[in-house]
Chain A
């Protein structure tokens, strides 16, 4: 009866070779043992009596790998053929899942074969096994004997039910593997049906085909072209063995348990069986432990290497290199998950130029590597295990034999995935590899997370330092700016104080003179009084200017914005300036270039600007000179210019001239009579209107001041008054 372990997902099926003494059963097992892949077999255990050739039974455990997550294991037994070991045969046959009946083709053994078959049926019944339900495969061995009975005769005697039947020469291997494969397939099918495991059909491929593949892998048998249907008789050509392996002389098959009694009690056979099974387990455990020691060594190496570095790149490289070393595979990749971009980016590649699993099969879809990363545990895909994934990977990687994908996760959060590929047909990957990679991947995940945290910490530090530097620089700049402003304010106050004191000085001086010198003539008295009045006006103007400027700068000026005709403002400013112009015998002209649209602004403030510019043009002009005003219109702008024929402005002062108190800013370069607030006020007013103000000058020839105002853009042109021509002055 098959042993079915749900927890380990393991299914162990028992195949018994039955037949006459010295019929070739052990020879069958020995040949299978030699043929089996070293990864999947343990050893052949033989339980012998002291007499050399008398076998009690043999046990050969084999592993078929995983099919849909179930590990399939086969246990092959032989029974002792001698009639006196009837009780042993019964014990061995107990729990059998399938039977190969090995018949001796020698004419002299015909009777023995029939007797053995009868004994077999008896023992089946004694073990409660229904003859009809258990798969049985016939093998007619020793076909190379000269007295071999024809197959038809044997069929008649031994196989009236037409069971599948193979002809063999077990000593050279002919027909051995075919028999074994057929029996195994039937056994697996029967067991899975009995347990209703629901794995009869896997990925469009029948279970039988899977088992066939697994068996071929186990035995290194190439796929047969045009495989015959099961149940059919197969006759290998005589003398030409189909499958043959050299047999080393007198091969030591391993365990040999010698029993000195010829008549064993049933219990001792059972004990022997248990012993043999235990021994098999011990050997398997030993092999696993050896492999485990190697894994632990590599893991230890990885841990040490990883602890010693916080360099992410180094950690990734070590992880991939050591994983490949652990598995002995030829190429692999390590990709990290980039959460923001929702992509997997290959960080390390070994033996390959690109990890194609990172490329989505359709745009917008997640790539296969993502699905592999999201798995809880590493996954092994071979032609047998996880066949669907294997096929998906094999489509992209030709020559693929096996593939392991190890997700890298920390506290359930996916970090990335490591893919390992084996293209070596000799190198098979199994469960123990998967366990090793899992341990390694867990270690690596911790190391990667540490390195990442460290890197992030470092970049935080760098960022923090940068921010501190930046802030310090900002503070320093702000401090410097404050110091400059403070200096400007002190300077401004000193200048204001000086400028206020100047008219005040004259006022006070002449007031005191008038008080003390009452005997002064009336002409002088009148002159002194006139000076006092002029200087009082100057003082008042200065105070007004200071107030205006501080209002402008503080944004507290009240603006009365409306569309108006600029020519009117200019005419009135010229009118108001004519008394001072006359004192210098100056001519003021005004010219408008074409029709000028309305401008939008504060009439009084624009008047103030024009009046101030004319005032400067008069003040700095020569006697008998000229002041020329002009208005032009271009695109959405109206430009007003005031040109004089005065002393001009030095080039280095052309921009500074609009600064407050520019003229007295440097004591050595103070210009005649200026108080230096007028242009600063003009600048503030024009800037508020969205215009520009500037000056051009040739020293000694004169200066021209310009300012612009945006022309008024009525939303509905039809409703606005057309610009009247009378607004212009020739």
Chain B
């Protein structure tokens, strides 16, 4: 069975590229363009892995991450933060909010592909 992945970013091309990478791994991909939509889709689909941007309209990636961790059905999902904000303070805050992995833009699709594979194999 394909694993479910939620990709969340307000930049359509980035959304498209990440989704492409996840599909290559063999996942069932869902997308969201802002934080509020991300939580809605997550609650509906209960993805195993979420790739999350930090700077989004509606709700920030930090907020989304915290709410995911508060949801008993979603707190076990693997969260990869993918952001253009590369400062150490952001990384710390993201990990505090409950993120499992922190990648910065521009990213390497190859590296992201490996991260998704690793995360999903660990899950199973």
Contact = CB atoms under 8 A, between A and B. Distances in A.
A668 B36 CA distance: 11
Contacts of A664: 55
Given A531-B16, A667-B54, A672-B57, A509 B85 contact: no
A509 B14 contact: yes
A502 B109 contact: no
A517 B56 CA distance: 30
A132 to B, nearest CB: 127
**Taking each of A497, A506, A508, which has the highest tally of chain B beta carbons within 10 Å of its own beta carbon?**
A506
B84 A672 contact: no
A512 interface: yes
Interface stretch (B44-52, B70-78, B100-108, B116-124): B100-108
A494 B85 CA distance: 8
A506 B14 contact: yes
Interface in B5-32: 10-11, 13-14, 16-18, 20-21, 24
Given A494-B87, A498-B85, A509 B10 contact: no
Contact of B14 (A498, A502, A671): A502
A475 B21 CA distance: 55
B60 A502 contact: no
A502 B86 CA distance: 12
A531 B12 CA distance: 10
Nearest to B108: A512
A505 B56 contact: no
A494 B83 CA distance: 12
A535 interface: yes
**Taking each of A504, A508, A669, which has the highest tally of chain B beta carbons within 10 Å of its own beta carbon?**
A508
Interface residues of A, number: 26
A270 interface: no
Per DSSP, are chain A's interface residues mostly helix, strand or loop, or mixed?
Answer: helix
Contacts of B18: 509
B106 A668 contact: no
B11 A506 contact: yes
A314 interface: no
B57 A669 contact: yes
B55 A508 contact: no
A501 interface: yes
Interface in A238-253: none
B59 interface: yes
Interface in A631-671: 664, 667-671
Contact of A501 (B13, B87, B105): B105
A86 B98 CA distance: 143
Nearest to B17: A509
Per DSSP, are chain B's interface residues mostly helix, strand or loop, or mixed?
Answer: loop
Contacts of A534: 13
Contacts of B86: 497
A442 to B, nearest CB: 78
Nearest to A669: B57
A344 to B, nearest CB: 73
Contacts of A507: 106
A506 B13 contact: yes
B84 A668 contact: no
A504 B42 CA distance: 28
B90 to A, nearest CB: 10
A510 interface: yes
A504 B11 CA distance: 12
Contacts of A278: none
A531 B11 CA distance: 12
Given A498-B85, A502-B11, A672-B10, A508 B59 contact: no
Contacts of A508: 106-108
Given A664-B55, A667-B60, A668-B59, A505 B105 contact: yes
B122 to A, nearest CB: 24
Contacts of B20: 513
A719 interface: no
A724 B13 CA distance: 48
A130 interface: no
Contacts of A669: 57
B57 A668 contact: yes
A517 B96 CA distance: 36
Given A667-B54, A667-B60, A668-B59, A505 B109 contact: no
B63 to A, nearest CB: 8
Contacts of B59: 668
B13 A531 contact: yes
Nearest to B18: A509
Nearest to B85: A498
Nearest to A501: B84
B39 to A, nearest CB: 14
Interface string A392-412: 000000000000000000000
Interface of A: 494, 497-498, 501-502, 504-510, 512-513, 516-517, 531, 534-535, 664, 667-672
Interface of B: 10-11, 13-14, 16-18, 20-21, 24, 54-60, 63, 84-87, 105-110
19 contacts: A498-B84, A498-B85, A501-B105, A505-B84, A505-B106, A506-B13, A509-B13, A509-B106, A509-B107, A509-B109, A512-B109, A512-B110, A513-B17, A516-B110, A517-B24, A664-B55, A667-B60, A670-B56, A670-B57
Given A497-B84, A513-B17, A672-B10, 14 more contacts: A494-B85, A497-B86, A498-B84, A501-B106, A502-B14, A505-B105, A507-B106, A509-B106, A509-B109, A510-B17, A512-B108, A512-B109, A670-B55, A670-B56
